[in-house]
Structure 1
Amino acid sequence: MTKTRPMAWGGALLYPLVLLLLVGGAFRSPNLYGLGALLAGGLLIGVLRRSPVWALVLTLLGAVSMVAVGGPAESPGRFLPFLTADLVLGYLVADRSRRVSVTAAVLSSLVQVVTAFAFMSGADHQLAVAMIAVLLLGTCCLGGLLFRERREHSVALRTQAVAEAVTAERLRIARELHDMVAHSIGIIAIQAGVGSRVIETQPAEAREALRAIEATSRETLSGLRRTLVALRQADPQSGAGAPLGPAPGLADLERLAVATTDAGVLVELRWAGERRQLPGDIDLSAYRIVQEALTNVVRHAGTGHCRVTVDYGAEELSVEVLDEGRGVPGTAGSGFGITGMRERVSLLHGRFSAEPRPEGGFRVAARLPLPEPVVARAGSR
């Protein structure tokens, strides 16, 4: 910026010198005379970027001076210097407030019309030149206005995109925290209840319940720490924190089943199809769906058994959680857990259902489409 300022005002000083050379006889033809004055306006680009108002004042003064002293009175080519002022006015309309733009346009048009009637000979020439000057000025103003509206529209679109991205990220974080914490707190609450009931009569079971509470608490804290570190690392100004652990996936279902069994619900885990590496978003979403479904079974089903089936298909991954309890009353359409599962599946363009079974119990099912590269790799093994 320090280097730009001398260059800008240096061009502003050279501009009148070039106009003096033109007035002194560098070009005798009125058209070449006006064209030279028009090209001389390029010296004001630095001023234009810093102060369009001053650039407009300089070009108007220069154009009036050139018209006043140059060429035959009947030659319209004398008015070419005003085209520089029109172009500057278009830039000003695109860059400055509407009040400044309107004021500059009115004053510029008055200067050009008055100059045309003052220095042109013949009423016909005066009227024709004035009309052409106003039309050129209006065209440049319209171009500046269109550019301004297009820029404002682009800014509005970017603002909307940023707002949507922030909202999507907030929803993603909310789903992660809900899925992570709700399951763990549910297990902790059940184990704490078991421990409080048997602490006097069965101290060994009470100790097992406390161990389960400790293990679940540590795992939840670890997950929360990973989430917070990920949020901090999203800020480029923040330093690197603790190393991020791997996100959970279907490979962790056995451990999840053990934790749910410790909470009093025996989990029967079934695998179908060829188990293989999945994209991270699909792997994490499938795990979270199973985790939330098991949380609902522990909290609401009132049963001691459920079945989880994971099917690796050629084109989609199927996940199903069945129980034979009393269902999950009131959550099929309004609970945060069901809503979070449905949102995860929708983001992956899959299909989701959560509904009571006709024979009793509840069923949660999700079908997640697999991308083509994963299918290709699976078939080549």
Structure 2
Amino acid sequence: MRNTFGSLRSWLRDHPLIPDAISATVLAALAVPCSYLPSLFGDPVALREPDTLSLALIVIGCLSPALRRRWPFLMLFLVIVIDTTLASTGQSASLVWLAALAMVYTIASRRGLALSLGALALSFTGHTFSAVVAGGLGDWSSHLLVAVLTMTLWIAGRSVRLSRAYQAELRDRARRMGRAREADTRAARAEERSRIARELHDVVAHHVSVMTVQASAARRVLATNPDGAREALSAIEEMGRTAMAEMRNIVGVLRTDGTPAERGPQPGVREIPTLVDQMREAGLRTQLWIEGERGRLSPGVDLAAYRLVQEALTNSLRHAGPEARAWVTVRHEPGELAIQIEDDGLGPPAGGSDGEQSGHGLVGIRERVALYGGLLRIGPRSGGGFEVNARFPLKDM
């Protein structure tokens, strides 16, 4: 039943001419018998019995609200003309004045302030002129009643218009906020995809490079040193498991099946010694110095520092040569974390600039450092080799 009533209201809202026509018809039907009663306005004694023409005018005036939404000013003017005509012939205007009130309300609720004030003034002027034409203003109380009703309906119409404008503004604001939220969501998703791509690149590049070096070493010593080959293969297996675990943690944020992803803690500065040991096992002679007292790092800076060392050592392993050495220095300074990675090898292949020859890895590192307001220098090392130097500003945690 409620759905049926709601559907009917929606249908009537989409077809406003129908309820307006019904209301106007009811008003006209009531106006005909009321025209034989003493008028509320003017001198009842002076009124004449309505004739056919006056009845027709009364019906036309009362039917005018049917078109109040389409031509409200024209209908208001028509009602005033009919009221004045009836007054000039000494006929009762019956309920035509109610039609004028309907026009005033319609204009006030659907037009601007200037036009609605014009309609209000036209209504007052028309009623006053009709009273004068009828032979005088007569009883002031009746005219005061009309003025109060007209002002009340005008104020009601203005309130409805302001309420509609306010609701429209709220809906528009909600749409704008919805579009802004969608844009923010798309930007956040794009940023998350970029972050995941950097994480995957760092993990895959590092572990695959180490596994490749270990596999090459196992192949060379397979016939002459089976135990050494076995150790290299064990290292490859362990490295592969570690890589799979890290990638599972990273890609876990993309799961959409509703099951929370099991994510382990992300690596940080504390894991750099383990990373250096892995590089030594892979054949890159690496030394590590950690200076200063380690303070509390934000998770983002902690991860960015680890990935910086990982990417730099991976590039040294791939490009520095078999006899190269690498040095990693981590300095915890007041308000700053400084990281330096150097090697004395051949360096990346030629064809790029500023150390970005090695692909997307160091470009991603540059983005990481810039994200946390740090400074990064990548380039050839004085005396040969290659170096990566970064400084992260630290905020009070």
Shorter-chain TM range is: 0.5 to 0.7
Q: Deviations over 1:176-205 (max 9, x none)?
A: 101111100000111111111121122222
Mapped partners of 1:259, 1:4: distance in 2: 72
Gaps of 5+ in 2: 32-38, 42-64, 85-96, 113-160
Mapped partners of 2:285, 2:380: distance in 1: 20
User: Is 1:336 the counterpart of 2:365 in the alignment?
Assistant: no
Contact 2:68 2:75 in 1 (8 A): no
Query: What is the aligned partner in structure 2 of residue 115 from structure 1?
Result: 75
Secondary structure class of the residue paired with 1:317: strand
Instruction: Compute the TM-score of the two structures, normalised by the length of structure 1.
Output: 0.66
Query: What is the aligned partner in structure 2 of residue 43 from structure 1?
Result: none
- Residue 144 of structure 1 and its aligned partner are, at CA, apart by 6.9
| Identity rate, percent | 32
Secondary structure class of the residue paired with 1:110: coil
- Residue 268 of structure 1 and its aligned partner are, at CA, apart by 0.8
Q: What code does the residue aligned with 2:376 have?
A: F
**Misfit runs of 4+, over 6 Å:** 65-73, 122-127, 129-132, 141-145
Instruction: Compute the TM-score of the two structures, normalised by the length of structure 2.
Output: 0.64
Q: What is the aligned counterpart of 1:347 among 371, 374, 377?
A: 371
Query: What is the aligned partner in structure 2 of residue 316 from structure 1?
Result: 336
Q: What is the aligned counterpart of 2:267 among 248, 267, 274?
A: 248
- Residue 134 of structure 1 and its aligned partner are, at CA, apart by 5.3
Mapped partners of 2:284, 2:79: distance in 1: 98
Answer with 215-224 or 114-123: which moved more.
Answer: 114-123
Q: Deviations over 1:45-71 (max 9, x none)?
A: xx5xx6793495687568867987799
Q: Which has the larger radius of gyration?
A: 2
Q: Deviations over 1:21-66 (max 9, x none)?
A: xxxxxxxxxxxxxxxxxxxxxxxxxx5xx67934956875688679
Q: What code does the residue aligned with 2:328 have?
A: V
Contact 2:328 2:340 in 1 (8 A): yes
Corresponding residue pairs, total: 300
Secondary structure class of the residue paired with 2:240: helix
Q: What is the aligned counterpart of 1:299 among 312, 315, 318?
A: 318
Gaps of 5+ in 1: 13-46, 74-81, 83-106, 375-381
- Residue 256 of structure 1 and its aligned partner are, at CA, apart by 0.7
Q: How does 1:6-21 map to 2 (within 5 A)?
A: none
Q: What is the aligned counterpart of 1:159 among 182, 190, 204?
A: 182
User: Structure 1 residues 300 and 58 mapped into 2: Cα distance closer, same or farther (>3 Å)?
Assistant: farther
Mapped partners of 1:254, 1:191: distance in 2: 19
User: Is 1:200 the counterpart of 2:223 in the alignment?
Assistant: yes
Mapped partners of 1:310, 1:52: distance in 2: 76
Q: What is the aligned counterpart of 2:299 among 277, 280, 283?
A: 280
- Residue 118 of structure 1 and its aligned partner are, at CA, apart by 3.3
Query: What is the aligned partner in structure 2 of residue 137 from structure 1?
Result: 110
Aligned-residue Cα RMSD (Å) equals 3.9
Q: What code does the residue aligned with 1:363 have?
A: E
Mapped partners of 1:55, 1:206: distance in 2: 86
Q: What is the aligned counterpart of 2:197 among 151, 155, 174?
A: 174
User: Structure 1 residues 204 and 164 mapped into 2: Cα distance closer, same or farther (>3 Å)?
Assistant: same
Secondary structure class of the residue paired with 1:120: helix
